[in-house]
A and B are shown apart, each in its own frame.
Chain A
């Protein structure tokens, strides 16, 4: 190969390499395929503190060192909740939501996403405490465009807030 040929070919290879780098830096891609919509449930909720105590029998107390003897043992934490999501009459999600933190003393945090076909859907959300207490419930109709995300959150005072989904009536 002659000197000028080598320079030309070397330059061409360099151009191809740089163009390839620039091209691979902008490859079109769709992270979420399909025209479905998404119902996103996301909230932070501080449930009531529950405490469960049991008396410690004398023989069990006797096994402990004197300075560690107690008459009852209590465990406390925030009450867990049960989540049920109904869409067009069908239960699409049933789940338990436990309090965060190693001692279950952090608020309940929820982040769930449900794929739905675009269109109008009747959505029911029921968030009810295990044990006792009144459930928090939402029953609404959402009109979701293709690729739209509707965000359902639970604001202070147990008020439902919906963002991103058009509510045709209600």
Chain B
């Protein structure tokens, strides 16, 4: 997908926001359709919308296809989180609210199909009534509403319409919970991707208008009719089963989905540690608090007798993404083993062992990128490029590296959030814990390459090497003061804030 659309346009990287955007399309088209829907004559009014209303057929088709695509996007989003094991710990709330969102989207769809009241709608309604009748809640079987002994009451369609309209409101509230634990949540995909998806669905709505089955008939068994797989997928599974078994199946699948965070949680010894703050080094600059993508850091009053604030990490909310390690100029925060100081220690050992020959290019590759084994360059692996402290880059350059190529996973494919964005800002745009002015920016480059895109790294490395050859030889020699400068620079940078 990256080869076809680039990482910015790769829909697999934007499944969550695509689902939200598609839901917005469903809302807008739904409001328009609502003006023409009649609960007294549901099937006839939908047929009239398709036949007579201006843009009615197109709007109805777009409403349906956007709903279908929304289900696909939600499922892909959930699958991606599952595969990337981004479900446990602080992400439990997001996972469980996501499961609820999926359930609400499906129920919204079912009520929508019942509104049409064609054969599919009737089959869905009767199947739902059969399930509900198995619950010891209703004193009279709901299935009797569809028995044909009398006309279906308008109250049924009113209630169904009410549910179809009210559920999205609840869905919005759950969506708010879903993103409650992330800072600066993104709810819309890149504009180009949004417009492309909208144009594609709009074109499909013109070329392949949504079908409406025959009118529901209580005096005939449900014959062959068009069904929407995205919402009616359950019918072939549940219809042959007794209703009690269906409830057991729903409970089993729902329970398994809810338990995923606990089933997939690594053992305690293998869980990445939460960030910790070294309060002696913390200057209270608030940069880690601003940069934390999960709002896991709070600024609190100091208790050590010094004036001002100090950062404090809530370990229950921290995902150990390590972004704070790169944002702290005095290197006083980060997960154990990944703080700025830890990075400098590793860089020092790396330089002593492998940077003996001046002119080499160092490729800093993150765990999820293709940069961990770049041919013809010295690989300096890091867990996440977003953790990278600018002093580490400076140290490697001043220790003799001709250039530093940071290879990161594409930003929207990052297992954490915002790390690469802040890294670029720190390296090239003066964000706090910035790369010092004395460092020649031409010797530093950031490239995005997912694990399977080694060719991008090879190409970027070749281009970087060509560009470096044009850069003057100034600064290539190992700098004897590098260790002192980098460490004191980090400390003074923090004090300056």
Q: A residues within 8 Å of B by Cβ?
A: 1, 6, 9-10, 13-15, 17-19, 21-32, 36-38, 40, 42-44, 100-101, 106-107, 109-111, 147-151, 153, 161, 163-164
Contacts and interface: CB of A to CB of B under 8 A. Distances in A.
A18 B229 CA distance: 14
Contacts of A164: 148, 218-219
A151 B140 contact: no
Interface stretch (B63-71, B91-99, B174-182): B63-71
Contacts of B204: 18-19, 21-22
Contacts of B232: 29
Interface size class of B (residues with CB under 8 A): 35 or more
Nearest to A30: B224
Interface string B219-232: 11111111111101
A154 to B, nearest CB: 9
Nearest to A100: B139
Nearest to B205: A22
B149 A31 contact: no
A45 B144 CA distance: 13
Contact of A106 (B139, B211, B222): B139
Contact of A42 (B147, B235, B236): B147
B420 interface: no
Given A31-B123, A32-B221, A109-B141, A24 B149 contact: no
Contacts of A101: 139
Contact of A10 (B4, B64, B144, B218): B4
B411 to A, nearest CB: 20
Interface in B189-242: 196, 200-201, 203-204, 208, 210-211, 218-230, 232, 235-236, 239
A40 B327 CA distance: 71
Contacts of B484: none
Given A24-B230, A44-B144, A149-B220, A18 B201 contact: yes
B143 interface: yes
A151 B4 contact: no
18 contacts: A6-B3, A6-B4, A15-B200, A17-B200, A18-B65, A21-B65, A25-B64, A25-B68, A26-B227, A27-B227, A31-B123, A42-B149, A100-B139, A109-B141, A111-B133, A147-B220, A147-B221, A153-B149
Interface of B: 3-5, 64-65, 68-69, 72, 119, 123, 133, 139-141, 143-144, 147-149, 196, 200-201, 203-204, 208, 210-211, 218-230, 232, 235-236, 239
B143 A19 contact: no
B147 A151 contact: yes
A147 B226 CA distance: 18
Contacts of B201: 18, 21
B140 A106 contact: yes
A163 B219 contact: yes
Among A38, A42, A100, the one with the most B-chain Cβ atoms within 10 Å of its Cβ is A42
B148 A100 contact: no
B136 to A, nearest CB: 9
Contacts of A10: 4-5
A82 B218 CA distance: 26
A22 B65 contact: yes
A27 B148 contact: no
A44 B140 contact: yes
A1 B3 contact: yes
A37 to B, nearest CB: 8
Contacts of A110: 141
Kindly list the 4 A-B residue pairs having the minimum CB-CB distance in the complex, ordered from nearest: A100-B139, A42-B147, A164-B219, A31-B222
Nearest to B142: A111
A25 B119 contact: no
A105 to B, nearest CB: 9
Contact of B144 (A25, A111, A150): A111
B147 A38 contact: no
Contacts of A6: 3-4
Contact of A25 (B210, B219, B221, B222): B210
B208 A149 contact: no
Given A25-B68, A27-B229, 14 more contacts: A18-B65, A21-B72, A24-B228, A24-B230, A25-B230, A28-B226, A29-B226, A29-B227, A31-B223, A32-B223, A106-B140, A149-B218, A149-B220, A163-B149
Nearest to B5: A10
Contacts of A43: 149
A28 B140 contact: no
Among A14, A110, A148, the one with the most B-chain Cβ atoms within 10 Å of its Cβ is A14
B59 to A, nearest CB: 15
Contacts of B219: 148-151, 163-164
A49 to B, nearest CB: 16
A26 B218 contact: no
Contacts of A17: 200
Contacts of A32: 221-223
B147 A31 contact: no
A112 B417 CA distance: 56
A62 to B, nearest CB: 37
Given A6-B4, A27-B226, A31-B119, A149 B141 contact: no
Contacts of A21: 65, 68-69, 72, 201, 204
A163 B151 CA distance: 12
